[in-house]
Amino acid sequence: MSSLPTDFTHTGLPMRVLFGSGRIDSLADELDRLGLHRVMIICTPPQAEAGQQVADLAGPRAHSVYPHATMHVPVDVADAAVAYVKEHDIDGFVSVGGGSSVGLGKAVTLETGLPSIALPTTYAGSEMTPIWGLTSDGIKRTGRDPRVLPDTVIYDPDLTTTLPPHLSATSGMNAMAHAAEALYAPDTSPIITLMATEAVRSLAAALPAIVADPHDQDARAAALYGAWLSGACLGVTTMSLHHKLCHILGGTFDLPHADVHTIVLPHVLAFNLAEAPAAAAALSSALGSDDPAGALHALNQQLGVARSLQDLGMPVDGIETVVDQVSGNPYANPREVTADAIRRIVGNAFAGVEPVRG
Ligand code: NAD
């Protein structure tokens, strides 16, 4: 009986989730359930067509498509969306897309309190978290507020088949990063361990199949399931060194969000897992390897995604900038982080070498 969990705290978040191929057909019913008659459909400019298809499914409940979401939610984009809501008496909204669409929706709810439905089409997981972000003058402010959570999330893997292979792979690795860091979070729990382990297992199996055939229905369902679990882990735990580094790297050098997560994760895990044995055991079981960091590096190679920050366009003198920024801010981490350790982790990610354990 000694392996039974002892004390822990687990917070569950209240979203209603519909999962499965074709579940988008429930959208009109879900809008009726929430009593919404005049919604806007939020999406990015490239997903305007998908936004229109969603509006068609919503029928007379849809007021308009609002295709203006952009990465990292610039304040002026959020202000314009809030002004549009007020001007057109919008009574709720549907966010279709990845973290950018969901992020704009959160900014709208923060100001207006409007209810919403999320239809995720990437694996970023924002729809499962109370974390909002707003960017102005190149600086992203973030906060937690349960009011920004969508009322309903519809995970329909059919919506993800258009996500290109590269973005599918990196977005999936972004999801794995949430699960991996949740495993050693200071507020982790046995429930998180179950969800995170299953998330990593599901994503690791699905991503190579998706890159081989983006229309593989089973793989798309498995990846979206993993993304949901990863997002649910992210939503109720405190992230550590990996997320801190990626936030700084993306913001300082304007690097693509999911690619940065993909490249950095094996290097941070090679460092952190040395002092996070339970997380290491869970990841070993999920990845079928006693070297989870090496296994993720190998998976990146198999997926054919960029493996170095240098490839993404980060300048070499940026390594010291990151060392300064990360060293100056306290955050949760299972292992003490020295300036030398950050220099080694970021240097290895910059060069794209094998992750170095220990
Ligand atoms: P994204 O939403 O910017 O999408 C990337 C690109 O893919 C966009 O051009 C989009 O139009 C396109 N796209 C999305 N789904 C598609 C599909 N099915 N078919 C074709 N094209 C598609 O990127 P993302 O990685 O999902 O989200 C990144 C943003 O989300 C960042 O700003 C990040 O900080 C934020 N984020 C927030 C949280 C949170 O909890 N608040 C969690 C994860 C990510």
Rg (CA), the chain: 20
- In sequence order, which residues have a C-beta less than 8 Å from that of residue 356 and are 6 or more positions away? 267, 270, 344, 348
Bridge partners (DSSP) listed for residue 144: 131
Tell me if 337 sits within 8 A of 275, measured CB to CB.
no
Please indicate whether residue 45, judged by its CB atom, sits closer than 6 Å to ligand 1. Answer: no
Nearest CA to ligand 1 atom 6: 98
Determine the pLDDT at residue 4: 65
Residue bearing the CA closest to ligand 1, atom 39: 126
Name the residue of 170, 237, 242, 257 whose CB sits within 8 Å of the most ligand 1 atoms, as the mutation to test its pocket: 257
Contact 117, 55 (CB under 8 A): no
The neighbouring-strand residues paired with 65 are 41
Question: Considering the entire predicted model, what is its pTM?
Answer: 0.96
* Element housing 63 (H / E): strand 62-66
Measured distance CA(50)–CA(57) in Å, rounded = 11
> Which of 196, 338, 334, 197 has its CA nearest to residue 276?
334
Q: Where are the alpha helices (DSSP H) in the chain?
A: 27-33, 48-58, 75-87, 99-112, 165-183, 190-212, 217-236, 241-253, 257-272, 277-287, 292-303, 309-312, 318-327, 339-351
**Strand, helix or coil at 11?**
coil
Alpha carbon distance 20, 99 (integer Å)? 20
Residue 17 CA to ligand 1 center (angstroms) comes to 19
Counting from 1 in the atom list of ligand 1, the atom nearest the Cα of 235 is 40
**Closest C-alpha residue for ligand 1 atom 20:** 163
129 C-beta closer than 6 A to ligand 1: yes
Closest CA to 357 of 260, 259, 238, 272: 272
Whether 71 lines ligand 1, by a CB cut-off of 6 Å, is yes
With the most atoms of ligand 1 within 8 angstroms of its CB, the residue from 13, 75, 121, 159 to mutate is 121
Per-residue pLDDT of the chain (358 residues; tens, 9 = 90+): 556 677 899 888 889 999 999 999 999 999 999 999 999 999 999 999 999 999 999 999 999 999 999 988 999 999 999 999 999 999 999 999 999 999 999 999 999 999 999 999 999 999 999 999 999 887 888 999 999 999 999 999 999 999 999 999 999 999 999 999 999 999 999 999 999 999 999 999 999 999 999 999 999 999 999 999 999 999 999 999 999 999 999 888 989 999 999 999 999 999 999 999 999 999 999 999 999 999 999 999 999 997 899 999 999 999 999 999 888 777 899 999 999 999 999 999 999 999 988 7
Question: What is the sign of the dihedral through the CA atoms of 342, 347, 352 and 353?
Answer: negative
Instruction: Return the ∠ at Cα 332 (arms to 326 and 334), rounded to 5°.
Output: 105
**What is the Å distance from ligand 1's center to 258 Cα?**
8
Give CA–CA dist 283/197, Å, rounded: 6
Residue with tokens 């290109």: 164
Q: What's the gap in Å between 93 CA and the centre of ligand 1?
A: 18
The pLDDT of residue 294: 97
Nearest to 258 by CA among 340, 175, 138: 175
pLDDT at 331: 82
**Residue 293 near residue 355 (C-beta atoms within 8 A):** yes
Per-residue pLDDT at 126: 97
> Measuring from atom 17 of ligand 1, which residue has the nearest CA?
163
95 ligand 1 Cβ < 6 A: no
**What is the rounded CA–CA span in Å between residue 176 and residue 200?**
6
182 lines ligand 1 (CB under 6 A): no
Question: Is residue 98 lining ligand 1, measured as CB closer than 6 Å?
Answer: yes
Give the up-direction half-sphere exposure of residue 353: CA atoms within 13 A in the CB hemisphere. 10
CA of 49 to the centre of ligand 1 (A): 16
Instruction: Please tell me the distance from the alpha carbon of residue 223 to that of residue 156, in angstroms, as a whole number.
Output: 11
Measured between alpha carbons, how far is 295 from 283 in angstroms, rounded to an integer?
10
In the block, which residue shows the tokens 């959570």? 149
Which tokens is 56 given? 């068609």
Point out the ligand 1 atom lying closest to the alpha carbon of residue 132. Answer: 41
The predicted structure's pLDDT at residue 329: 74
| Spatial CB neighbours of 84, under 8 Å, sequence gap ≥ 6 | 40, 66, 90
State if residue 124 touches ligand 1 by the CB under 6 angstroms criterion.
Answer: yes
How far is the centre of ligand 1, averaged over its atoms, from the C-alpha of 8 (Å)?
32
Taken in order 345, 347, 349, 351, the sign of the CA dihedral is negative
The residues with which 39 forms a beta bridge, in sequence order, are 62, 92
What pLDDT score does 251 carry?
85
Residue nearest to atom 40 of ligand 1 (CA): 126
**Atom in ligand 1 nearest the alpha carbon of residue 167:** 7
